[in-house]
Amino acid sequence: MPATAPQLTLHALPPSHPCLTVEAALRLKGLEFERIDLSMTARDRPEQVAAIYGEGRHTVPGLLIDGEPVHGSRAILARIEALAPDVAPLFPEPIADAVREAERWGDDELQDLGRRLPWGALHFRPEALNSLVGGAPLDPAGTDFAIKFAHVAWKYHGITAVRLHEDLAGLPAKIERIERFAQEGTIGGEQPNAADLQIGATIRILLAVGDLRPLLAGTTAEAIATRFLPPATGEIPAGAYPAGWVPAR
């Protein structure tokens, strides 16, 4: 731990699972930080983020370390590790390389499902949008807004009905890959590492989708998410996806 603790400011969104990853890592390391939640509905949010973290960087999480901007969950976790390398290592030896590969997989192959699958469900259950920030189901007027907002989210994340169906069909293979990571000893140990936090945060947000819970129940993916990450905000009732779209176990 450095002699003088750095000033840390995390820019986040309440429903963002990469932000959940970073916050869990900061708490695991015992690093004090300020969290600033940006508005989920602000049209200029991408510009706000770019003004702090640089041109072309429009998403969260972002972390300021004594004013220095670090953007993206993997880059942030690497810097967090450097700040406190001897406290709860995120890349423990002798499995550090395997952890980095699993973390990369969680970022590159899994993370987008934590966006497309919940937003896909919200298209069919727009009244649940407010749950992403811890609120109650929306009234009819609020649901009108949520329908429009979900449409924008589909466009932003490149969601189509065909892609959503393909994502759901491919989810069992992702769950099985997580199982193999655990069997290989890369994740699921006594203490979470970077891969646990990267993968677990995405599964945490998927557990907010009622239709997906039966598929995740009793799996290593669910166990890692519930052991190492706090519950994500959001509650999208079962019955959102069209019948037959969620694979049977």
Query: Residue 2's pLDDT band (boundaries 50, 70, 90)?
Result: low
For residue range 188-197, what is the model confidence (pLDDT) as tens digits? 999 999 999 9
**Section 203-231 average pLDDT:** 97
CB 192 within 8 A of CB 28: yes
For residue range 119-133, what is the model confidence (pLDDT) as tens digits? 999 999 999 999 988
Query: Does 46 score more than 90 pLDDT?
Result: no
Q: What are the structure tokens assigned to 46, written together?
A: 């991408």
For the chain, which domains are there?
8-83 (3.40.30.10), 96-228 (1.20.1050)
Residue 43 is predicted with a pLDDT of: 76
| Calpha distance 13→133 (Å, rounded) | 9
Residue 207 is predicted with a pLDDT of: 97
DSSP state letters, the chain: --SSPPPEEEEE-TT-HHHHHHHHHHHHHT---EEEEPPSS-TTHHHHHHHHH-TT--SS-EEEETTEEEESHHHHHHHHHHHSTTSS-SS-TTSHHHHHHHHHHIIIIITTHHHHHHHHHHHH-GGGGGGGGTPPPP-HHHHHHHHHHHHHHHHHHT--HHHHHHHHHHHHHHHHHHHHHHHTTSSSSSS--HHHHHHHHHHHHHTTBGGGHHHHTTSHHHHHHHHHSPPPS--B-TT-SPTT-SPP-
Whole-number average pLDDT of the chain: 95
Query: Does 170 score more than 60 pLDDT?
Result: yes
Q: What are the structure tokens assigned to 225, written together?
A: 């998410």
For residue range 111-165, what is the model confidence (pLDDT) as tens digits? 999 999 999 999 999 999 999 888 999 999 999 999 999 999 999 999 999 999 9
Residue 3 is predicted with a pLDDT of: 60
Query: Does 41 score more than 80 pLDDT?
Result: no
Query: Does 24 score more than 90 pLDDT?
Result: yes
For residue range 76-93, what is the model confidence (pLDDT) as tens digits? 999 999 999 999 999 999
